[in-house]
Every structure is written in structure tokens, then in C-alpha cells.
Amino acid sequence: MKTKRILMQFIASRRVNIVSIITLIFLSTVISPEFISAQASKSKAFKDTYELKEVVVLSRHNIRAPLSGNNSILSKITTHQWTDWTAKSSELTLKGGVLETMMGQYFRKWLEEEKLFEEGYCPNADEVNIYANSMQRTIATAEYFKTGFFPTCNMPVYHRFAPSKMDPVFFPCLTKVSESFKNQALKEISLMGGKKGIVGINESLKTSYDLIEKITDMKNSPACKEDKTCLLDDYNTQLVFKKGEEPNMTGSLKLANRIADALILQYFEVSDDKEAAFGNTLTTNDWENISKIKDVYGDVLFSAPIVAVNVAHPLLMYIKDELKSDVRKFTFLVGHDSNICSVVNALQFEKYSLPNTIEKQTPIGSKLVFEKWIDKKTKQEFININLIYQTTDQLRNLTPLTLNNPPASHPMKISGLVANEFGLYNSQDVMDRFEKAIKAYEDIK
């Protein structure tokens, strides 16, 4: 606890450098209990049968500052003052960097435990691929992860453009748009709201909307006085689909998502509960209701089957190729929640709700992890898929991650596929699902 307090004081000073961060994380780790197996939940039979051959990770960036800066709608929608972020608008915060370094350390210890890498080994360029979208927050996340994962290795982080420009592989934009596509997308999205369609989706969020209005004191805000934006009551959300652009919308859901995003980030960034909530006393359930807006917003834009296969297509192609590589041992791709959401839905994973986090679908810094396992005797390949994420408490408290105090891991199940007794999917079945999603994209007219 003493080390954690020192670390928090350093972060609060805003003058800490990366060497200091790594030193303090190391000190936090060495006072933790002894490491135990990352696969402790695996049976002896599993360990005797399988060995880990490759891991492919699709990661969301860690904690960033809100996408909107000064003089934006965020500054006008409330009578309160947002926290003094340690980064510019949309960029990774200092705390986000610390958390991602911890995650990198954990992954290294896990993969050493599984003997994918020898302790202290520096892999060659063919064995490891670290590739980030060309935004500051994604590049920085990759760099911090690499620092924890390969602290003594000169491993490059690959990104195609200078910050901040979207890489087509990670850009969740529509590359095929027609009237038939729009009609099908609207039909699939409308089903999410039941008989009332898009209005029903908004009505399901009324408790969340009311809570945000109260926390921000929206009715007394400059936005209310100047622009008459006093309530989140525009339930007639309009969806916009344009070729070369991300799916978009108008209405209260879009504004509510922007506010919810900033509040959740502030909750992770600020240690004082009341300060994070603008002086309000909120329960965990309240924070979950705020975060629910973000989940629904992401679902509306990116989870409809025809939309998911459209925007996820480049990443699906890339991940499939990485999983088929004979020489690759570890791939780390850094993108956004929209990337994870679209990939998960394009591959038709079963619906899930994550425990121990207020973000139930794609928590900040979360990682969709594809593990390729080999049967030692038959040499048959299998794939295990988990969503790895730091719990809300781990995020807020800067909890060091070790093999006996790991991040949360949620098993991901693919609809229509049958896993074996150890929860592993036949590798070819998973690759066929990739091909199915890729063909669904090709069939879009």
C-alpha cells in the first residue's frame, strides 16, 4: 500500500517520467505474493495434453482524455469543471500508460510461464508483431505495453502514419454502402429496440439519461441557456451511413454517449469518488447505468451483422493471416472499442456481460485474446478465446498485475461452434468462421 501511495503521488505531480514509472511498478510487483501459474485453473490433464504455440491480441487503448476539448459541448453541458487531464484531448493519459505497462508485464510473465518465451528472451522480428492504429492513444498504448512486455528488447511498434491519422486496417468505416445495405442495417438495428425500434432503444436508457442530466446539472448549464439543450429527450435517433465514414447518428443517444464516455474516463482517472461524480454520491450500479449508454451506442453503430462484417473486414483479414502464420508467436494489435465490438459481432460471438467492471462489453484497455494450442501427441491445433481486462478496482487503484493477481479473464463463446471438454475450439472451425464473415462482406451489394 505504501508503494501504491507513492505511485499515486508521483502521478499527481505530473512530473513523472517513464523510468520512474517502470521503477515504481517493479517495486510494486516484487512486494506482491509469489507468482503462480497463469493457467492455474487448467487441469493437469490439460497441461499434459496441450502446449501454447501462438497468441494474437486485439486491444483497446487504455485510459485517454475525452475526445472533445475546451469550448466543446462537454464544457457547455455541465455547470461543473471537468478534471485537469494529464493529456490533451483524445490522447492517452499518464495513468493509462502506467496501467498498460502493468498489463504488458503480466502478459510477459504469463507467456513465460506457458513457455512460449524463455525468461529474458528477446524475440526476432518474425516472432513478434506489435501494430497500432496511427492515433496517439493507440500508439502510446502499444509503446507502454511493449515497455512492460519487452523492457530490455529493442522491439519496434509499427504504425503506418504519423499521429493522428486513422489506419484503414483499424478505421471502422463503411467501404460498401447501397440502398439495400442501408435498409438491411436499419432493419437489424431496429430489432434491438423491439416493437418501438430505435425509440425503444432510447426508452431503455431513460434511467441512464436521467442520471446524467442530474450529475451534470444539465438544466442549468450553458448549453441549456444558450442552445436549449436541457434534456436528453430526442429519442428519434437518425442513423447515417456513408461510404468511407464510420456509421454515425444524431439525437440524444449520441450526446449522452459523449457525456457518459467523459464521466467514465473521469471515474477511472480520479481517485476521489465524489470528485469523479461532480460532488454526487453514486453507487456502482449508477456507474454501470452510465456505462450502459456507451454499450448501447456501440451496439447500435457496430453490432448489426451487416454493419459488423462491413467495418471489421480489414481486421478480420489481418487477424486471420496472423493466426495462420507458422513463425509468429505473439501479435499485439491496438485499436478501439469499435474494433472489438465489430470483430466480436462479425464472428458471431454469443452475447456476454462482463463481471467486476462497470463497462460490460469492451472495458478500457481490454483485450480480445486468441490463443492457439497444439495437442502434443496429434499436433492438432485448437483455439481458445478470452476477453482480458483490468477490473474497475484494478484500474482505479493502479493494482499491480501478477500471475496470482491477474486481470479478469472472460471466456468468449462463438455461436454455433462446439468446444471440446477443455473449452477449446477446433482451429479449422474458427478459421471457417473468419471465412464466413469475410464472405458476408463480399456478398454485400
Domain that holds residue 437: 38-66+92-172+310-442
| C-beta separation of 89 from 261 below 8 A | no
Same-domain status, 381 and 404: yes
> Residue 43's pLDDT is what?
86
DSSP 128: E
Is residue 293 predicted with pLDDT exceeding 60?
yes
Same-domain status, 373 and 275: no
Q: Which of 12-26, 50-64, 379-393, 426-440 has the lowest mean pLDDT?
A: 12-26
Looking at per-residue confidence, does 161 or 24 come out higher? 161
Domain boundary among 302, 321, 351: 302
Same-domain status, 225 and 241: yes
**DSSP letters for 304-348:** SHHHHHHHSHHHHHHHHHHHT-SS--EEEEEE-HHHHHHHHHHTT
Q: Is 227 a catalytic residue?
A: no
Is residue 251 predicted with pLDDT exceeding 50?
yes
Count structural domains, the chain: 3
Is residue 49 predicted with pLDDT exceeding 60?
yes
Rounded CA-CA distance 98/411 in Å is: 26
**404-430 residue pLDDT tens:** 999 999 999 999 999 999 999 999 999
> Residue 41's pLDDT is what?
61
Same-domain status, 137 and 236: no
Same-domain status, 153 and 49: yes
CA distances to 66, 229, 272, 326, 389 from 137, rounded to whole Å, are 11, 30, 24, 31, 17
Domain boundary among 251, 271, 302: 302
Same-domain status, 168 and 42: yes
* Domain presence at residue 85: no
* Domain presence at residue 86: no
Q: Which amino acid is at 381?
A: E
> In the chain, pLDDT over 70 holds for what percent of residues?
90
Q: Is 272 a catalytic residue?
A: no
Q: Which of these is catalytic: 80, 234, 337, 429?
A: 337
Same-domain status, 190 and 144: no
* Domain presence at residue 79: no
Q: Which H or E run contains 401?
A: none
> Residue 11's pLDDT is what?
47
> Residue 71's pLDDT is what?
74
> Residue 68's pLDDT is what?
78
| C-beta separation of 176 from 310 below 8 A | yes
> Residue 428's pLDDT is what?
98
The CATH number of residue 255's host domain is: 3.40.50.1240
Rounded CA-CA distance 246/256 in Å is: 18
Same-domain status, 324 and 425: yes
Q: Which amino acid is at 278?
A: F
> Residue 24's pLDDT is what?
46
| C-beta separation of 144 from 101 below 8 A | yes
> Residue 175's pLDDT is what?
98
Is residue 292 predicted with pLDDT exceeding 70?
yes
Radius of gyration of the CA atoms of the chain, in A: 22
**85-101 residue pLDDT tens:** 999 999 999 999 999 99
Q: Which of 60-69, 217-226, 257-266 has the lowest mean pLDDT?
A: 60-69
Is residue 116 predicted with pLDDT exceeding 60?
yes
* Domain presence at residue 268: yes
**428-437 residue pLDDT tens:** 999 999 999 9
Is residue 210 predicted with pLDDT exceeding 90?
yes
> Residue 76's pLDDT is what?
95
Residue 366 backbone phi and psi in degrees, to 5: -70, 160
Q: In the structure, what pLDDT confidence band is assigned to residue 70 with cuts at 50, 70 and 90? A: low
Average pLDDT score, the chain: 92
Q: Which of these is catalytic: 61, 159, 313, 336?
A: 61
